[in-house]
Structure 1
Amino acid sequence: MSSLRAKIQDVFNEPACEQNRGKDAKARKEGCSKPLTPGAAAGGCAFDGAKIVLQPITDVAHLIHAPLACEGNSWDNRGAASSGPTLWRTSFTTDLTELDVVMGQGERKLFKAIREIKEAYGPPAIFVYPTCVTALIGDDIEAVCKRAAEKFGLPVVPVNAPGFVGSKNLGNKLAGEALLKHVIGTVEPDDAGPYDINILGEFNLSGEFWLLKPLLDRLGIRVRACIPGDARYLDIASAHRARAAMMVCSTALINLARKMEQRWDIPFFEGSFYGITDTSEALRQISRLLVNKGADPEILGRTEAVIAEEEAIAWKKLDAYRPRLEGKRVLLNTGGVKSWSVVHALMGIGIEIVGTSVKKSTVEDKQRIKQILKDDNHMFEQMAPRELYAMLSEHKADIMLSGGRTQFIALKAKTPWLDINQERQHPYAGYDGMVELVRQIDLAIHNPIWRQVREPAPWDCQPEVREELPRTKRETATLHVVQEFTGTTADDFGEC
């Protein structure tokens, strides 16, 4: 536990974070994560965050050393995709019981589970995750993993991120520390080249990485390792031979990027593949870093040629949506890199941003938003559900872009909604992804269902006042029979 505590303090004191550098020594050690309140929901624990970062490594067996319920975490609702192996979709757990805890059988059961996975599946590596229970009872995960690796002849990686140590964001960083300590640098590739890069913090949600890779292939740039989206164990193990790196989500893996630069001289930059302008700038940055590391400068010209071609195609497609979407108002209730990159992209086709959340955004993200919007009145740290509902029900926005947790606020307000977070069903990265995002916004806003649901319900209609017409004898007799059996009067028979 003392080594884990020291590792946590080291992660909190992140020198690559500009916000953290501006604090005094005491505040730096406390980090950016909010303190957890005992008994309150933390919005995702450290174990959950570690699993989110490492689970998309597709050919690895991920073993949870815990009671069965701990395997039911939120990684499974993230739309990460694989182009090959499916082992990562199989859940492995030691399923500790009360008897195992009382009798001290946790370590023995873990070793047996590792052996069974090795014999049944033969993976290139096994990642072992302790949770609150096994960390509190003192199971020595690292010792068991070391012994199992020696016995079975394959890497067994301990991921020390039990849930109680902190927030999901802290778990992201602890996962990066596990890769640095046990995986990256353990395999020497025989095909390293001057155009190899790493992409950090890209999760291949809905296959987004597959929209980006063809652009890099056209430039002759090879992705040595995408961590973690659609990754393979051996790719990550040899990631230390890349010449440059792009960091997509700094709050998750900035410690990984910084330490890889320190150990293996791999320069990195923070960029985004959301939006046309930001995708182009990311490609330029990658090419510049490669040239600085010795690549042929002609790649800069090829990069500009590809950018010009792709931007022309994308803007031509987007211009078709401009007459339908220009002046439409969008409320963004997301965070992180999407809070500024998507804003920039949508404003490019005439869409008005009436608000964007910055809860998960870094200081740099917020500065970018201010530069784009020319005003910080449209930025909000957090908006209560009641306020979101009031804003939407008063028709101050034509559509809300957010995660699945707030979709029902929009639906209750009878306002179009589009999922833009990790559960989304469509890829929005790159040039083609931006066109797809605008297409989905157009489909959502102009869906005829919204006109129908906003109309008064039939039972809310008031009876019309009609002139009483003379009835025939048969009609009068029928009406008397109905009134006798139902207890109604003639005044009750109206129409909507």
Structure 2
Amino acid sequence: MSSLRAKIQDVFNEPACEQNRGKDAKARKKGCSKPLTPGAAAGGCAFDGAKIVLQPITDGAHLIHAPLACEGNSWDNRGAASSGPTLWRTSFTTDLTELDVVMGQGERKLFKAIREIKEAYGPPAIFVYPTCVTALIGDDIKAVCKRAAEKFGLPVVPVNAPGFVGSKNLGNKLAGEALLEHVIGTVEPDDAGPYDINILGEFNLAGEFWLVKPLLDRLGIRVRACIPGDARYFDIACAHRARAAMMVCSTALINLARKMEQRWDIPFFEGSFYGITDTSEALRQISQLLVKKGSDPEILGRTEALIAEEEAIAWKKLAAYRPRLEGKRVLLNTGGVKSWSVVHALMEIGIEIVGTSVKKSTVEDKARIKQILKDDNHMFEQMAPRELYAMLSEHKADIMLSGGRTQFIALKAKTPWLDINQERQHPYAGYDGMVELVRQIDLAIHNPIWCQVREPAPWDCQAAVREELPRTKSETATVQAFKKFAGTTADDFGEC
């Protein structure tokens, strides 16, 4: 536990974070993560964050050393996609019971589970995750993994991120530390080239990275490792031989990018593949970094030619949507890189941003939003559900873009909604992804269902008509008798 505490403190003291650098030494050690409320960590604990980062390594086996419910809670919790192996979709757990805890059988059971996975599936590596229970009873995960690796002749990687140590974001970073300590640099590739790069913090949600990789392929740029989206263990083990790196989500793996630059001199920048302008800028910066690392400068010209060609195609496709969407108002309830990159992307086609959440955004993210929107009046740290509902029901936004947890607020307010978080079904990255995002917004806003659900219910219309019709003497007497029987007054009795 002492080594885990030291590692957590090291993660909190992040020199690559401008906000952290601005604090004094004492405040810097506390980090940015807020303490968890007991019983409220489900779906957002450190274990969950570590699993999010490592599970998209598609050919590896992911073994949860814990009671059964821990694995059931986080299995397949993101929409990452694989172009080949499916082993990552298989759920492995030691299913620790009360008897195992009392009798001290946890480590033995873990070793046996590793052996069974090795014999049945033969993966290139096994990732082992302790959780709150196994960390509290003191199972030495690192020792068991080391012994199993020697015995079975394959990498067994301990991911020491039990849920109680902190938030999901801290778990992301601890997963990056596990890769640095046990995976990256363990294999020397025999095909390293001058145009090799790493993409960090890209999860290939709904296959988004597959819209970007062909662009890099056309430039002759090879993605040595995409961490973690659609990743292979061998590629990550060779990632230290890349010439440059792009950081997509800094809140998740900024520590990984910084330490790879320190150890292997791999420069990195933070960029986005959302929107036409940001995609083009990302391609330019990748090429510029490669040239600084010794690549042929002619790649800069090829990059500009590719950008000009792809932008022309994308803008031509978007021209059909501009008259239908220009002036439409969008509320963004998301965070991280999407809090500014999607804002920029939507403003490019004339959509107005009435608000964007910055709950999970870094200081750099917030600075970008201010630069794009020219002020910070449209930024909100957190908006309560009733405030979201009031904003939407008063028609201050034509559509809300958010995750699945807030969709029902929009639907209750009879407002169009589009999922842009990890559960989404459509890829929105790159030039083609931007066209798809605009197409989905157009479909949502102009769906005829909204005109129908906003109309008064048929029974309300019938009641209004009946109120206007003259009643006979017998009908009036019947209504009054029923009101008296029901104990109601004339004001609160509704016509049927």
Q: Compute the displacement of 1:187 (Å).
A: 0.4
2:354 alignment partner in structure 1: 354
Q: Compute the displacement of 1:37 (Å).
A: 2.7
SS at match of 1:424: coil
- TM, length-normalised to structure 2: 0.94
Q: Compute the displacement of 1:53 (Å).
A: 0.1
Q: Compute the displacement of 1:467 (Å).
A: 12
Contact 1:55 1:75 in 2 (8 A): no
Deviations 1:99-126 (A, max 9, x none): 0000000000000000000000000000
Give the direction of change, closer, same or farther, for the CA distance of 1:405–1:434 in structure 2 (3 Å limit).
same
SS at match of 1:304: helix
CA RMSD of aligned residues (A): 3.3
Q: Compute the displacement of 1:481 (Å).
A: 19
Q: Compute the displacement of 1:39 (Å).
A: 3.6
Give the direction of change, closer, same or farther, for the CA distance of 1:105–1:420 in structure 2 (3 Å limit).
same
Deviations 1:134-178 (A, max 9, x none): 000000000000000000000000000000000000000000000
Give the direction of change, closer, same or farther, for the CA distance of 1:460–1:181 in structure 2 (3 Å limit).
same
1:95 alignment partner in structure 2: 95
Contact 1:66 1:133 in 2 (8 A): yes
Distance across 2 between alignment mates of 1:459 and 1:76? 44
2:11 alignment partner in structure 1: 11
Deviations 1:374-430 (A, max 9, x none): 121111010000000000000000000000000000000000000000000000000
Deviations 1:208-265 (A, max 9, x none): 0100000000000000000000000000000000000000000100000000000000
Give the direction of change, closer, same or farther, for the CA distance of 1:81–1:468 in structure 2 (3 Å limit).
closer
Distance across 1 between alignment mates of 2:260 and 2:402? 33
Distance across 2 between alignment mates of 1:483 and 1:375? 58
Contact 2:392 2:410 in 1 (8 A): yes
Q: Compute the displacement of 1:348 (Å).
A: 1.1
Distance across 2 between alignment mates of 1:254 and 1:406? 28
SS at match of 1:294: coil
2:204 alignment partner in structure 1: 204
Contact 1:56 1:230 in 2 (8 A): yes
Q: Compute the displacement of 1:474 (Å).
A: 18
Distance across 1 between alignment mates of 2:470 and 2:453? 38
Contact 1:52 1:75 in 2 (8 A): no
Give the direction of change, closer, same or farther, for the CA distance of 1:3–1:492 in structure 2 (3 Å limit).
closer
Deviations 1:298-318 (A, max 9, x none): 000000000011111111111
Give the direction of change, closer, same or farther, for the CA distance of 1:471–1:138 in structure 2 (3 Å limit).
closer
Give the direction of change, closer, same or farther, for the CA distance of 1:394–1:300 in structure 2 (3 Å limit).
same
Distance across 2 between alignment mates of 1:242 and 1:57? 18
Distance across 2 between alignment mates of 1:55 and 1:167? 18
Give the direction of change, closer, same or farther, for the CA distance of 1:151–1:322 in structure 2 (3 Å limit).
same
Q: Compute the displacement of 1:204 (Å).
A: 0.2
Q: Compute the displacement of 1:479 (Å).
A: 16
Distance across 1 between alignment mates of 2:52 and 2:186? 23
Q: Compute the displacement of 1:77 (Å).
A: 3.0
Contact 1:206 1:425 in 2 (8 A): yes
SS at match of 2:418: strand
Give the direction of change, closer, same or farther, for the CA distance of 1:366–1:403 in structure 2 (3 Å limit).
same
Contact 1:274 1:434 in 2 (8 A): yes
Contact 1:389 1:409 in 2 (8 A): yes
- TM, length-normalised to structure 1: 0.94
- Which stretches in structure 2 are left out of the alignment for 5+ residues? none
Distance across 2 between alignment mates of 1:74 and 1:283? 34
Figure out how many residues of one structure are paired with residues of the other and give that number.
496
Give the direction of change, closer, same or farther, for the CA distance of 1:485–1:223 in structure 2 (3 Å limit).
same
Distance across 2 between alignment mates of 1:468 and 1:410? 34
Q: Compute the displacement of 1:459 (Å).
A: 1.9
Contact 1:198 1:245 in 2 (8 A): yes
Distance across 2 between alignment mates of 1:166 and 1:470? 69
Give the direction of change, closer, same or farther, for the CA distance of 1:160–1:470 in structure 2 (3 Å limit).
closer
Give the direction of change, closer, same or farther, for the CA distance of 1:374–1:137 in structure 2 (3 Å limit).
same
Q: Compute the displacement of 1:40 (Å).
A: 3.5
SS at match of 2:214: helix
Contact 1:464 1:494 in 2 (8 A): no
Distance across 2 between alignment mates of 1:467 and 1:268? 71
Contact 2:466 2:495 in 1 (8 A): no
Contact 2:57 2:231 in 1 (8 A): yes
Identity in percent: 95
Q: Compute the displacement of 1:468 (Å).
A: 12
Contact 1:36 1:42 in 2 (8 A): no
Give the direction of change, closer, same or farther, for the CA distance of 1:332–1:61 in structure 2 (3 Å limit).
same
Contact 1:43 1:167 in 2 (8 A): no
1:38 alignment partner in structure 2: 38
Distance across 1 between alignment mates of 2:33 and 2:485? 69
Contact 2:75 2:91 in 1 (8 A): no
Q: Compute the displacement of 1:463 (Å).
A: 3.7
